[in-house]
Amino acid sequence: MKVRDYKPKRKQDHIEPCARRIHVEKVRFNDDERAFINEARGNIPRAVYIRMMSTCNEPIIPPEFNKGIWITLATAVANLNQLSRRVNSGESVLAEEIRNELESFRAALIGAKI
């Protein structure tokens, strides 16, 4: 039985040698500091956030999810999809019904201030 050399693929194999991150620096935080970082970073991985902050490249953190706007837009989109399905299946749909759905969709978009 022949033993093959096993070389696992590394995540940075595709990165240019000069851009690879090979240096490791360890930093210790107390509980308060770590809690502050965890709150500030949002969904950004901790190491990425700390690297960005240490190089003065502040990360862009998206605003909090607004569930009310999402529900309004999801309802409008669902209604519009149902109408388009009816049109594509050959059902008779009045032009006024299409106009009303498009107007309500537009109102939902304007109300969401996108």
Report the number of distinct structural domains present in the chain: 2
Q: Is residue 29 part of a domain?
A: yes
Q: Is residue 96 part of a domain?
A: yes
Q: What is the mean pLDDT of residues 90-111?
A: 84
| Same domain as 108, residue 80 | yes
Which residue type sits at 62? P
Q: Is residue 5 part of a domain?
A: no
| Same domain as 74, residue 103 | yes
pTM value > 0.75: no
pLDDT in tens, 19-74: 777 888 888 999 999 999 999 888 888 888 888 888 877 766 656 667 777 788 88
Q: What sign has the CA pseudo-torsion 34, 42, 57, 51?
A: positive
Rounded-to-integer distance, Cα 37 and Cα 14, Å: 30
pLDDT in tens, 79-94: 888 888 888 898 888 8
pLDDT in tens, 7-17: 555 565 677 77
Q: What is the pLDDT of residue 59?
A: 66
Q: Is residue 90 part of a domain?
A: yes
Domain range for 101? 67-112
Assess whether pLDDT exceeds 60 at residue 99. Answer: yes
Assess whether pLDDT exceeds 50 at residue 114. Answer: no
